[in-house]
Structure 1
């Protein structure tokens, strides 16, 4: 599915951190730049379209989506503590336009959920790829969802709070319940 490509370090300029004594501006150095090491790059995933968003609900699970309108759940293969392969676990179909934002429950447990948004349309999935809910939150392009997050309650509570922000300036808070 994917191939590994070695990459050079990428330097990202940071503003000084107020919690650190001067002149340090990052946790690991006294340089105005933070060293961001790219561990691995996966290529040849073009069959799933241009990737527009990704979320990592667990250290070995990556959820991506984008121009293809398909949400892909990937399993990251590890060897000796380093990423070695990316394998498609599940493809979730349900959107008709590009998916622009994703969120997933942090624990990604058996009750975990994935939220995907395309335009003003929001879909809620369980970890097995079953569609739990689907709703259009607003009408017209000005209501397109631009960001989303999911908040979990205690382990015994199967409901999730889903928060979305959209181009019309609205922040919408929804609650989902597992059946």
Structure 2
């Protein structure tokens, strides 16, 4: 189960969405799944819409009929995603001193993850991000100074910082080495 979801209503909605997705992937109608599982069509529809909290017995019947582990009904992940450094899309800043590689985007949860590279003796001044956005940055290699509003923070390898990204912030590399960062942007509150 997704550890971030601890609200029972959210869990019910998630199970319903996953069930609907899995049922459609297997090209089954509600009636087909009802016949396979022994759970009524009405109950299956209510589960998919998040209108009922299914019992463990119902979940076992459904998972067996779909030939999936029961915990697959609690997971939105059904495949493995791999992002290798230096492979795939790379986006450079205006002066080519700043480079990002998108890692994973989860638009449904308002999250974006990047690897970022800042060249020696250079700086990057991003635009203010969306209202109520949060930036979480971890230094993977090197040392960097990050300015957030009017404060300066020096981070070394494996140090992390989190800040509101809708204010002014910048990254400055005063060293002779490329700094590698892991950045996660979270949109919303």
| TM-score of the aligned structures, taking structure 1 as reference length | 0.26
**Which is strand-richer, 1 or 2?**
1
- The structure, 1 or 2, with the larger RCO (C-alpha pairs under 8 Å, 6+ apart) is 2
Larger helix percent: 2
Find the structure with the greater CA-based Rg.
2
